[in-house]
A and B are shown apart, each in its own frame.
Chain A
Amino acid sequence: MESSAEVTRIMIGWPGATHFSETDSQLGLVGDLLARVGAGRLYAELVRTEHVADRVDAYSDIMGDRAGRIFWISVDVHKGVDPERAIESVTRVVHQLATAGPSAPELALAQQRELTKRVRALESVTRRADLLGQLHDVVGSDTAFESLQTDVLGATPASVRETVRRALPTNRRVVVVASHDSSAAACGRLRGHQ
């Protein structure tokens, strides 16, 4: 994709999990482990160490409640850096998480942050209503409400590692690059990426 944008942005997407499923909860933790500002693995590697990116993010989108969500990794490539290099770095970091999993302290912090985020989502009456509506729509009852907490607390380094291995394989992803570079591929699969 070519655009007049000054910033080159990479979006890497995987078919995600059904909203409120256990895998969905684990992918919430994976998003935190990968991309939180300051200490996430992608942030540390791409922004701080390699200086190939200015911003990273990892999240499940809010669409497709029943059909399953899409898990996205989004990277704003540092000016002058080849997007291919940033994609390779993302691939390596995700592979490391799929192979070794998070450390126990790393996961514990991610769990605490995720739980805090979920409690904060209950602050607003509108968001409470949205959440209850989604639970009814997707799960069919609000009894799943308690599982939102237990799924987060029940995650282990091994279960997160397994989730990353199953949910984020290289051969199931779609890579989109929006670049100001007119020589970039107009459309299609990038060289070396399925």
Chain B
Amino acid sequence: MKRKFDLDHLCQLANLELPEREKNNLTSQLEKIVNWVNKLEELKLEVNTEETHLTINTSIPLRSDEPTRSFSPKEAIANSSESEKNFIKVPKVIEGK
């Protein structure tokens, strides 16, 4: 298995930022963990995606499609850090002039 760890790229994907001093420590920890989970290499598995789902031998029904009352706008935005009227405020999504 490939084991190269590009921490900056992964942080970029995960929307995280790490100070330089934490990076070395975390890289070595993650490398250790990845080497440890590489134990699965011992298993010569032919990967068949159809066999990877957990099957519990019983029915999982769909609920009936009936409209019900949901949260009021006030309740829905009550936990946001910034809001105006019935909207949550975020910085501009498309930046420009």
Partners in one complex: no
Q: Which residues of B line the A interface, CB within 8 A? A: none
